[in-house]
Structure 1
Amino acid sequence: MEEIINNPTFGILISIVMFEIGLYINKKTKLAIMHPLLISIGLIIGVLLIFDIPLDSYEKGGDMISYLLGPATVILAVPLYKQFHLFKQNKKPILIGIIVGVLTTITSVFALCKVFSYEQELLYTLIPKSITTPIGIEVANSIGGIPSITVVAIVLTGITGAIIAPIILKLFRINDKVAIGIAIGTSSHAVGTSKAMEMGEIEGAMSGLSIGLAGIITVLFSSLFVRILELFM
């Protein structure tokens, strides 16, 4: 049994099985809160706790899945390529929207950390919460954050965005497909983009575009923000 648990295949297999269960529950309940990723995370944690399986054993396979996140994100370029003419037609509002979204994320994290008196290290950890995991981990490392907590924040942000995006869009009567894609991609990265793709090809393409641009802009602004913060400390 120990040989099976310590095999990388174990972590990969349990991740796939739990995600498939999450998909099944999501389709049956049709509830936004029953997001497959959220369900699979809970199930995996439950299995590890109930059977007393060390996290290190799971991560031998789980880390392989994390490694593939970067290459998998590249596939989002396919719908973008098909809708690239929309980017050329709307490049100014798209770039402004993404920059404003990134700055809003950074400033809101700073404001909340101040209100709740969080330590500076946690502030640096949460700054990259709205960008895709591979970039977010590197940003957290470079500015002095805690990458493991950053990953948790990124996952929760993505799931939250995917769940509440349709509600927000309906509440504020946002119907423009380009605006929808940019908003979702900038605020909730790849997990949100999967929801945007369900809405339509244009929404998915614009959301996929936002992931890359928001990541680059966050890298630039986060470093600048940290330097400014250090001057006033």
Structure 2
Amino acid sequence: MSELRDLAGEPVFGVALTIGAYALALRLNRRWKWMHPLFACTGMLIVLLLVADIPYEDYSKGGEIVSFFLGPTTVALAVPLYKSLLTMRRRLKAIAVGVAAGSVAGLCVSSLVVLAFGGSKELLITLLPKSVTTPIAIELSKQLAGNAPLTGVFTVLTGLLGSMFGPALLRLFGLRSDLTIGAAVGTAAHGIGTGRLARESEAQAGISGFAMSLSGLVMSLLGIPLAIWLPIWLR
């Protein structure tokens, strides 16, 4: 165990551990469809770090290298987006209005819930970006003096829950078109939801990628003034 702790200080340890845990999580997902790979991977990493008594700071030396690829991965979602461009072009206005309305509704609901329970302005800022992709959410939280690590946690949880239950709930209510599922999941569950759709339908993933991008733009434009002025308006 001491040798493992010594190795943990090397960046390659965090990289190898993350990739290995995710590969195992994918195998578990193929056997049990309800188990999201990201959820399983995170759980395995937490258990291993606790059991082996490895400080998170040591693991994060390699974990930060993996985190760096969040940006390029998000950009790569432009590929299915381009392939779905023809389908979206016919309904672009409807998609844009729906995504913008969903984004604004999400911002307002999050704000009202925090304020209704007496949450602080810092908590409000921390929660506001939870439905946009992680790099944007964390950067917005930092710029507005929120709790960026906690924003990351809420953002990932939002994406996980949206990707695990969103498509099934939409189908339960009779919403089965690629356009509807892609737009709804992209708006609410950002990159994690889009990644889930990419395994099932390239068309849904493309629309979801567009919705995710537009949602991030809406959040950037409206989230900042909302975080500043809403607590003042509701005093």
**TM interval, short-chain normalised:** over 0.9
Residue in 2 aligned with 1:139? 140
Q: What is the SS of the residue equivalent to 2:26?
A: helix
* TM superposition shift of 1:186: 0.6
Q: How many Å separate the matches in 2 of 1:184 and 1:112? A: 21
Residue in 1 aligned with 2:161? 160
Decide whether the 8 Å contact of 2:167 with 2:181 is kept in 1. no
Decide whether the 8 Å contact of 2:121 with 2:227 is kept in 1. no
Q: How many Å separate the matches in 2 of 1:140 and 1:205? A: 27
Alignment coverage as a number of residue pairs: 231
Gap regions ≥5 residues in structure 1: none
Decide whether the 8 Å contact of 2:127 with 2:151 is kept in 1. yes
Q: TM-score, normalised by structure 1?
A: 0.95
Percent of paired sites with the same residue: 35
Q: Which residue of the other structure, out of 13, 25, 32, is the alignment partner of 1:29?
A: 32
Which ranges of 4 or more aligned residues in structure 1 deviate by more than 4 Å? none
1:151-188: CA deviation from partner (whole Å, max 9, x where unpaired)? 10111111101110122122111022112101001100
Q: What is the SS of the residue equivalent to 1:128?
A: helix
Residue in 2 aligned with 1:13? 16
Q: TM-score, normalised by structure 2?
A: 0.94
* TM superposition shift of 1:59: 0.4
Letter in 2 for 1:181: G
Q: 1:46-125 maps to which residues of 2 (within 5 A)?
A: 46-125=47-126
Q: What is the SS of the residue equivalent to 2:88?
A: helix
* TM superposition shift of 1:68: 1.0
CA RMSD of superposed structures (Å): 1.3
Q: What is the SS of the residue equivalent to 1:44?
A: helix
* TM superposition shift of 1:90: 1.0
* TM superposition shift of 1:125: 0.2
Q: What is the SS of the residue equivalent to 2:163?
A: helix
Q: How many Å separate the matches in 1 of 2:102 and 2:67? A: 26
Q: How many Å separate the matches in 1 of 2:167 and 2:178? A: 12
* TM superposition shift of 1:67: 1.2
* TM superposition shift of 1:24: 1.4
* TM superposition shift of 1:230: 5.0
